[in-house]
Structure 1
Amino acid sequence: MKRGNSKVKLLIGAAIILFGVIKYYSNSEINEFTGKKQHISISTEDEIAIGLQTAPEMAQQHGGLYPDQNYQKFVDMVGQKLVTNSVAKQTNYQYDFHLLKDPQTINAFALPGGQIFITYALFSKLENEDQLAGVLGHEIGHVVGRHSAERMAKQGLTETFVSGVAVGLDPNTAQGAAAIANVINMSYGRDDELESDELGVRFMIDAGYNPIELIGVMEILKAAAGPNKTPERMSTHPDPENRIEKIKQAIEKYKK
């Protein structure tokens, strides 16, 4: 009887995994702005709604918005210049740029649908307008590339896979499967970063900025990581040195 129960569990687990795989691969489309085939299960309208809903909470986590409106206007000006002069303008997204008050966390990030943030800690280390354009162009690249929506779909597939293993085998095996899946998802994250670097270079050139300055941004991030940085294989971000090489290749590809 016990063996029969095990077979039933295996069949149910396999069915859960099969359902997740079919669902994931049935939602495929070509991103018209990057030419990349993607598996996405939400609409651009959903992305915009998620971004708008999440934006206030993200700002709060970083101490709110920076109070100096002159700096905020500067960020808006550079961001909108990038959007207006690139394919980002042809998307259905509404791009909003936010300078966060956080004086310690050196970071910039994008939410689905066009909500883009940069902390004052990073903003204050930038040396010129072109470097700011490099940071914002990279984040616009995440939005145009629909990376958040793609990650949501991949995360859904991962969770379904782990659930299937837990039902069909045992929770301990599922924990191991989850760890493997996490490493795989990290590699997807690194690919997204490299694609956004390339898009950022393209947007900078389109808007008349010097893309070489994006390498300066990488140097700032490298210095901020310090000697105890996380190894690339355990990080969602590629090593800055690898990013610099890819950026140089993108500059050669897109320079006019």
Structure 2
Amino acid sequence: MNGLQKALLSTLTLSLIACSSSPTGRHQIIMFSDQQMNSLGAESFESMKKEQKISTDHKTIDYVQCVTNALLPYVEKQEGFTTWEVVVFDSEQVNAFALPGGKIGVYTGLLKVAENQDQLATVIGHEIAHVLADHSNERMSQAQLANVGLQVTNATLNDSEYQGVAMAALGLGVQYGVLLPYGRTQESEADIVGLEIMAKAGFNPYQSIDLWKNMAKASGGNQPPELLSTHPSHNTRIADLSQKADTLSNSNAKKPMCRL
């Protein structure tokens, strides 16, 4: 890649960047359209439904849908879709997710750790918050920029005998200096935004603290150091949620009555 090609690549990259703000006012770099992200989310969700076992237990399905339905009136309407699809996957995974385009997946294993409707609402609210804050778009944009940056740097080091060492070091710097901390920021943001949603819906925000205590027990302490993780540590998460819950506990919303 010559100097002109590098300049064109850099110019093209910058021209695709759109500046945006998250629900908490944090500056974001967004490179993909809502339509692109919604299509990607829908396509991924359809693939998951074909590849993974879907629960047929109506009681469990109704319970998860009840909690989700209680949250949705307090979720800001999104561009490109008007309804949220919820699927319960029959799996021991202690997990849930939400994808652009309004796709929510909950694994039955989560219900062994999220012990009541408030704790389940904490998780689903958190996952919905990822969609509201365009976190998937942000992560993809960040990865795209990192990839372009590495390509440009590789070109400048093309004639250097230290190219391999330099690229390895830079790759490590991108991984631990940009992408992972960005993930922790997004996770903490989704915690706060999700907690606001669930509290507005009438769920008890203090149950989020119990949820993460349960998560800590379920993990058996096998969590990587916070510095090398895309998620905040359990202790950090609990402290942040406790502080936020103090400002949200007096919700005037009618308390949902979802039971498993």
TM-score range, shorter chain: 0.7 to 0.9
Q: Which runs of 5+ in 1 are unaligned?
A: 1-7
After superposition, the Cα gap between the structure-2 partners of 1:71 and 1:245, relative to the gap in structure 1 and judged at 3 Å, is same
Q: Does the CA-based 8 Å contact 1:76-1:97 persist in structure 2?
A: yes
1:57: which partner in 2?
A: 47
Q: Report how far residue 12 of structure 1 moved.
A: 5.9
1:244: which partner in 2?
A: 238
2:38: which partner in 1?
A: 48
Q: Which amino acid aligns with 1:29?
A: S
The structure carrying a bigger helix percent of its residues is: 1
Deviations 1:135-160 (A, max 9, x none): 10111111111100111110100100
1:198: which partner in 2?
A: 192
- Aligned pairs for 1:208-219 (under 5 A) are 208-219=202-213
Q: Does the CA-based 8 Å contact 2:113-2:215 persist in structure 1?
A: no
Q: Which residue of 39, 42, 55 maps to 1:66?
A: 55
Q: Report how far residue 162 of structure 1 moved.
A: 1.1
Tell which deviates more after alignment, 11-20 or 52-61: 11-20
- Aligned pairs for 1:90-105 (under 5 A) are 90-92=77-79, 93=81, 94-103=83-92, 105=93
Q: Does 1:35 align with 2:22?
A: no
Q: Which amino acid aligns with 2:34?
A: T
Q: Which residue of 155, 158, 162 maps to 2:146?
A: 158
Q: Which residue of 102, 110, 128 maps to 2:116?
A: 128
Distance in 1 of aligned mates of 2:48 and 2:172:
27
After superposition, the Cα gap between the structure-2 partners of 1:222 and 1:59, relative to the gap in structure 1 and judged at 3 Å, is farther
1:82: which partner in 2?
A: 71
Q: Does the CA-based 8 Å contact 1:193-1:238 persist in structure 2?
A: yes
Deviations 1:93-123 (A, max 9, x none): 43222211112x2112222232122211112
Q: Report how far residue 223 of structure 1 moved.
A: 1.6
SS at match of 2:104: strand
Give the alignment's Cα RMSD to 1 decimal.
2.2
Deviations 1:234-253 (A, max 9, x none): 11111011001111121123
Q: Which amino acid aligns with 1:155?
A: A
1:4: which partner in 2?
A: none
2:255: which partner in 1?
A: none
Q: Report how far residue 21 of structure 1 moved.
A: 5.7
SS at match of 2:247: helix
Q: Which amino acid aligns with 1:177?
A: L
Q: Which amino acid aligns with 1:124?
A: K
Distance in 2 of aligned mates of 1:129 and 1:205:
12
Size of the alignment, in residue pairs? 242
Q: Report how far residue 225 of structure 1 moved.
A: 2.1
1:178: which partner in 2?
A: 171
